[in-house]
Each structure stands twice: as structure tokens, then as C-alpha cells.
């Protein structure tokens, strides 16, 4: 189920002459775009056009393997995000792990993409599932209450409507990587395989403290991939272990089919929180995407996602949904380099404040006049860029 773990931990571990150790590979992506983004709403919400340069999920990584004998292979990967549009830093901030693979499957430990996040990325129409049109802008957010990820200690706080600063990642807890995690990826049987991930409760506090915390979770998925067809179902559950006993979860089912000249993708997402501000909340999201090859080098792409109104204790909270629209084109200059252009729009209902999932525009009061509210704003943008893989 976990495409990234399978691809990076098991297959494709090619050798390179760049290192004395011949089974280590260096790889990466340099992806930059010039964006014009806008936040618009009523008279108090207008931010107007903002221009910027974004380095959309650019990365550098090292991966390798060592044959141990008896059918076993040691595998590792260190992968870091690279932000060369501003002062950046390197570290194992992306999928980074060490593990062992064999006929039984693969076991890895580290900072991992779970099967739920992997499914969201697999059905996204954008190269690398990145940029302002990424479906991470709307999946799993539960009315913007479940943003961000756990800290290095495992802490996560889900309380109240969250906002995202400009130019940051603004994805749900289910669409970010799990720290302090262990995962098992099964072998593939006729295109079918499973992934099970567990998040350790390293942040557990001493019993009886007022700031009680004991965050833990699991992420499971079943995936079928054979030829042009892919289908998957995942379930991700997290217990915050706080005094309120808050629990959050996400169920997804999705798939895609590649016709050669064109492809279609679809997904259904249901996020849930229990004991959340004294209430139970759920929200459903539906998504549909497609690509069409105009020429062997040029591809049109588009997707539409709809977040329905929140349901709180079984009753709908009016105008708390949003819609994401994207149209774009990708033109390959070579096997490794492409030009791309995208138009994306996040249309919020009057009581919602969603932002782009990658390179947020900054839908929060800190970017607006004192007392202004950004609920109901429309966030839109045009992005022109270049993507190179190595």
C-alpha cells in the first residue's frame, strides 16, 4: 500500500559510481515556480495579488541497500526537503528510515509516509503531488481543525480552527509524515499488498500530571496495482492521550486508471474527531481528477475536490465546506525536466477558511487588517514553473 516505502526501500536501489560504496544512490528534485496568488472576499478580506517564488517540495536524498545473505537485504534512506527560495536547511525531514527486506516483506523504522498520505498523493494529478493545486489543501482537514503533524517528541494538539502562515505546508495530520514510526510492507501477491504502520508514544507523560499526554496511532492500508489499474483503501487512527481523551481518524478509498493517452482518478475521504471540544465532528471530501496527453510531451491536467459541511454531533454546521479547482499543463523538455503551468482556486463557504496545502497563501488574520476575518475568502493563484529530477 505504501508506494513510497515499496519504491524506495525495496526496488530501484541502483548503483552509482559517485561513491566508493557502489550501492548508495543520491537523488532529488529541483522544482521552482513563479506564483501570483490572491486572497479575496468581502471588503475586509481583500489582500490583493502577491507574487513569490516557491520551491515546491524540492528534495535531496540518499538511499542504499546491502545484501545480508539468506535472502535478506538491509535498506536505508535519508531524505531532506530543500527550500532554495529562502534560507534553507538540510535534515532527515522527509521519508527517512532504516530497515530490512526479504521474502516476508519489508520492515522500516523512522520518519515515514503512511498509507493514508500515500493514497492522497497517488491520486493527485500534479507531478510530485505538489504545488498550489495539490489535493492536500482539502483532504482530511476537518474544517481546518486537524492541521500539521506531531513534534519530534510526538506531541500533537488539535483544538480550535487552525491557520497557516504564508508559503508553508498547510496539510492535515493525515497528510504529513509520521515521526517515531515503524511500518511493515507486505510482498505483492498478484498486485495486492498491505502496509501497517505504528506511531510510538514517546511523549507519554507521568501519570497524574495536569498536562497529560500519550499520543499514539496506527495507519493501515490495502492496495491493488496491476497494469493501468490502481485501487486502495486506508484507515488512520490517532489517540492524543490528553485529558479529554480526544481521538481522530481518517478513512479513504480511491483509485485510478491509466488509458495511455488519458487517466482518471477518484477518492473519498472521511475525517472524524471524538471528544473534540466536547463534541464529535465528521467531514466528507470527494475528489475527481484527470489527465490527457495532447502530445507525447504535453499533458493537460485538472481536478475538482469538494469538502462537505462539518457535522457536529450529527448535525450539519452550515457553510463550513470548501471546493478546490485546478487546471494545468505539463510539458516535458526531456525525461527529467518539465515546464508546468497551473491555475488553482480554493473557494471557501462563508464559515470556512481553507488554504492551499502546499505554499499556503496565508489565510489568517495576521495578514489582514486588525479585526478582519478570512472565513469565506477565495484563495486563487497562477503558477509557472520548472521541475527537474536527478
Closest CA to 374 of 7, 40, 6, 20: 40
Residue 183's φ and ψ, nearest 5 degrees, are -140, 145
Average pLDDT over residues 10-18: 33
225-258 pLDDT per residue, tens: 999 999 999 999 999 888 788 899 999 999 999 9
Average the pLDDT over 341-360 and give the result: 93
pLDDT at 149: 79
Highest average pLDDT, of 125-139, 203-217, 372-386, comes from: 125-139
Question: Total structural domains in the chain?
Answer: 1
pLDDT tens for each residue of 319-339: 999 999 999 999 999 999 999
pLDDT confidence bin for 356, thresholds 50/70/90: very high
- Confidence tier at 22 by pLDDT (50, 70, 90): very low
User: Residue 207: what pLDDT?
Assistant: 57
Give me the pLDDT at residue 40, please.
87
pLDDT of residue 121: 97
Query: Residue 11: which of 256, 227, 226, 188 has the closest Cα?
Result: 188
Q: Which of 33-42, 58-67, 221-230, 266-275 has the lowest mean pLDDT?
A: 33-42
Percent of the chain exceeding pLDDT 70 equals: 85
pLDDT of residue 372: 46
Write the CA distances from 242 to 42, 93, 157, integer angstroms: 38, 26, 9
The pLDDT value recorded for residue 244 is 81
Decide if pLDDT at 272 tops 50: yes
Residues 6+ apart with CB under 8 A from 50: 36, 37, 38, 166, 361
Whole-model pTM? 0.88
What are residue 146's phi and psi, to 5 degrees?
Answer: -125, 60
Which residue stretches of the chain are H helix?
Answer: 3-9, 115-123
Task: Please tell me which residue, 151 or 369, carries the higher pLDDT value.
Answer: 151
Higher per-residue confidence, 166 vs 298: 298
Instruction: Record the cell numbers describing residue 204, joined without a space.
Output: 507519554
pLDDT level of residue 162 (50, 70, 90 thresholds)? low
User: Mean pLDDT over all residues of the chain?
Assistant: 86
- Whether the pLDDT of residue 77 is over 60: the answer is yes
Tell me what pLDDT residue 380 has: 95
Which residues, 6+ apart, have CB-to-CB distance to 120 below 8 Å?
A: 129, 135, 136, 139, 140, 174, 175, 252, 254, 267, 269
Pairing, β 48-54 against β 24-40: antiparallel
Local confidence band at 87 (pLDDT 50, 70, 90 cut-offs): low
Q: What is the pLDDT of residue 85?
A: 81
Per-residue CA distances from 2 to 8, 21, 194 (Å): 10, 28, 8
For residue 173, give the DSSP letter: G
Considering the chain, what percentage of its residues have pLDDT values greater than 90?
66
Task: Say yes or no to pLDDT of 289 above 80.
Answer: yes
Select the highest-mean-pLDDT range: 1-15, 88-102, 198-212, 288-302. 288-302
pLDDT higher than 60, residue 192 = yes
Domain extent for 165: 3-389
Here the CATH number for the domain that contains residue 382 is 2.40.160.10
Give the confidence band of 280 by pLDDT, cuts at 50, 70, 90: very high
Amino acid at each position: 500500500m505504501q508506494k513510497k516505502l515499496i519504491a524506495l526501500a525495496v526496488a530501484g536501489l541502483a548503483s552509482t559510481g559517485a561513491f566508493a560504496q557502489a550501492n548508495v544512490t543520491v537523488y532529488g528534485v529541483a522544482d521552482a515556480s513563479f506564483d501570483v496568488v490572491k486572497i479575496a472576499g468581502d471588503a475586509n478580506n481583500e489582500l490583493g495579488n502577491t507574487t513569490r517564488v516557491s520551491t515546491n517540495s524540492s528534495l535531496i536524498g540518499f538511499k542504499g541497500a546491502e545484501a545480508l545473505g539468506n535472502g535478506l537485504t538491509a535498506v536505508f534512506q535519508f531524505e531532506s526537503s530543500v527550500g532554495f527560495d529562502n534560507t534553507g536547511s538540510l535534515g532527515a525531514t522527509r521519508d527517512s528510515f532504516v530497515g530490512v527486506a526479504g521474502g516476508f516483506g519489508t520492515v522500516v523504522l523512522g520518519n515515514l509516509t503512511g498509507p493514508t498520505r500515500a493514497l492522497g498523493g497517488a491520486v493527485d494529478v500534479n507531478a510530485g503531488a505538489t504545488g498550489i493545486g495539490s489535493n492536500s489543501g482539502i483532504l482530511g482537514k476537518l474544517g481546518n481543525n486537524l492541521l500539521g503533524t506531531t513534534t519530534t517528541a510526538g506531541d500533537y494538539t488539535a483544538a480550535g480552527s487552525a491557520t497557516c502562515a504564508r508559503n508553508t505546508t498547510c496539510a492535515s495530520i493525515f497528510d504529513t509524515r509520521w515521526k517515531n514510526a515503524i511500518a511493515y510492507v507486505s510482498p505483492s501477491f498478484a498486485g495486492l499488498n498491505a502496509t501497517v504502520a505504528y506511531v510510538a508514544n514517546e511523549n507519554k507523560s507521568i501519570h497524574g500530571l495536569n498536562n497529560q499526554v500519550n499520543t499514539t496511532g496506527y495507519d493501515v492500508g490495502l492496495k491493488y496495482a496491476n497494469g493501468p489499474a490502481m485501487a486502495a483503501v486506508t484507515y488512520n487512527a490517532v489517540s492524543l492521550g490528553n485529558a479529554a481523551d480526544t481521538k481522530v481518524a481518517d478513512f479513504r478509498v480511491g483509485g485510478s486508471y491509466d488509458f495511455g493517452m488519458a487517466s482518471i482518478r477518484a477518492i473519498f475521504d472521511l475525517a472524524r474527531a471524538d471528544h473534540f471540544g466536547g463534541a464529535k465532528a465528521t467531514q466528507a471530501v470527494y475528489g475527481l481528477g484527470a489527465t490527457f496527453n495532447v502530445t507525447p510531451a504535453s499533458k493537460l491536467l485538472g481536478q475538482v475536490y469538494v469538502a462537505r459541511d462539518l457535522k457536529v454531533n450529527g448535525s450539519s454546521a452550515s457553510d463550513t465546506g470548501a471546493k478546490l479547482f485546478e487546471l494545468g499543463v505539463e510539458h516535458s523538455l526531456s525525461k527529467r525536466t518539465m515546464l508546468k503551468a497551473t491555475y488553482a482556486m480554493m473557494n471557501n463557504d462563508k464559515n470556512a477558511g481553507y488554504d492551499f496545502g502546499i505554499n499556503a497563501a496565508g489565510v489568517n488574520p495576521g495578514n489582514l487588517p486588525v479585526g478582519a476575518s478570512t472565513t469565506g475568502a477565495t484563495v486563487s493563484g497562477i503558477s509557472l514553473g520548472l521541475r527537474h529530477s536527478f
